[in-house]
Amino acid sequence: MSSTEETLDQPLLRVTNLAKSYGGNAACRDVSFDLWPGEILAVVGESGSGKTTLLKCISAQLACDDGRIEYLMRDGILRDIHGLSEAERRFLMRTDWGFVHQNPRDGLRMRVSAGANIAERMIAVGGRNYGKIRGTAENWMDQVELDPGRVDHQPGTFSGGMQQRLQIARNLVTHPRLVFMDEPTGGLDVSVQARLLDLLRSLVSKLQLSAVLVTHDLAVARLLSHRIMVMQGGEVIETGLTDQVLDDPQHPYSQMLVSSILPV
Ligand SMILES: Nc1ncnc2c1ncn2[C@@H]1O[C@H](COP(=O)(O)OP(=O)(O)OP(=O)(O)O)[C@@H](O)[C@H]1O
């Protein structure tokens, strides 16, 4: 079997029996799921249900206590991310993975220009030609609906919505195979949120992104995700196709979540 064929029937990310506690408190318990190439999985649940802890564990930002997190490397082999060398993990963080934080300040370098924020990840994958890097940065600014004429401006001079779009451009410029998003539209005004959601929706479909999206906003999950995983008290209590879970939730907690948040 060729490596392409192997890749087709393997998940991009496989999480098995993941557990993480803080002191004696279990934040995640026995979490298992597969993420398939081209799939957007939304992790939903109330505040404190363990969503962010899960996202941090699966993106190697936090060590888990138990379980396995395997990622399909570019050579077509699923590898446990905690068994990777430091260089391999750095490569994933800088190129193959993207991380969109709720607060763009956590994902941007505020003291360098917008262009340099985008360029940094290009340089990490070997980009050396200044003119080409600048051109690509301007092109990405355009793709996320930022004025390329502001390539030399620092992110601090941008609005919150613009900073979020810059953070997205910085992440996508290396064509990551997997993007982790933590409440990407949280903390923004409703109209800014709607515009950003539209942009995200068109980018994920154009680039056929695979992503794990943490959100407490079921409308965001409805718009962006193919599948939903509902968490309560650190456990996954329901998982299924987005429309199925939102239109016909099976677990009483999912029913409560859907009826309390989504207008009928
Ligand atoms: N650094 C920490 N130290 C101790 N307890 C923590 C820490 N981070 C999270 N917790 C606890 O772990 C549980 C899960 O928190 P987590 O932030 O993962 O949930 P969440 O669903 O992402 O919530 P939110 O939407 O508010 O971010 C909560 O009980 C929380 O108080």
What percent of the chain is modeled with pLDDT above 70?
Answer: 95
Query: b or e along 7-29 (b: 16 or more beta carbons within 10 Å of the residue's beta carbon)?
Result: beebbbbbbeebbbeeeeebbbb
Tell me if 122 is assigned to some domain.
no
Domain count, the chain: 1
- In DSSP terms, which residues pair with 179 in a beta bridge? 98, 211
Largest CA distance in the chain: 57
Q: What angle do CA 213, 219, 220 make, to 5 degrees?
A: 30
pLDDT, tens digit (0-9, with 9 covering 90-100), for 70-103:
999 999 999 999 889 988 888 899 889 999 999 9
Average pLDDT of span 213-225: 93
Residue 75, number of CB atoms within 10 A of its CB: 9
Tell me if 116 is assigned to some domain.
no
The predicted model scores a pTM of: 0.92
Residue 234 CA: which ligand 1 atom is closest? 14
Tell me if 124 is assigned to some domain.
no
Is the pLDDT at 43 greater than 90? The verdict is yes
Residue 5 amino acid letter? E
Average pLDDT of span 20-40: 95
Confidence of residue 8 (pLDDT cuts 50, 70, 90): low
Residue 60, number of CB atoms within 10 A of its CB: 18
Tell me if 93 is assigned to some domain.
yes
The answer to whether 117 and 109 have CB atoms below 8 angstroms apart is: yes
Residues with CB under 6 A from ligand 1: 22, 25, 27, 45, 47-53, 216
DSSP conformational letter for 62: S
Between the CA of 25 and the centroid of ligand 1 the distance, in Å, is 10
Between the CA of 152 and the centroid of ligand 1 the distance, in Å, is 37
Tell me if 142 is assigned to some domain.
no
Confidence of residue 261 (pLDDT cuts 50, 70, 90): low
**Residue 67: closest CA among 112, 16, 125, 10:** 16
**Residues 121, 167: Cα–Cα separation, whole Å:** 11
pLDDT, tens digit (0-9, with 9 covering 90-100), for 155-207:
999 999 999 999 999 999 999 999 999 999 888 888 888 889 999 999 988 99
Tell me if 220 is assigned to some domain.
yes
Q: What is the CATH number of the domain that holds 193?
A: 3.40.50.300
Tell me if 148 is assigned to some domain.
no
Confidence of residue 137 (pLDDT cuts 50, 70, 90): very high
Residue 183 CA: which ligand 1 atom is closest? 25
The domain in which residue 221 lies consists of 3-105+176-261
**Residues 59, 214: Cα–Cα separation, whole Å:** 12
Between the CA of 27 and the centroid of ligand 1 the distance, in Å, is 6
Tell me if 25 is assigned to some domain.
yes
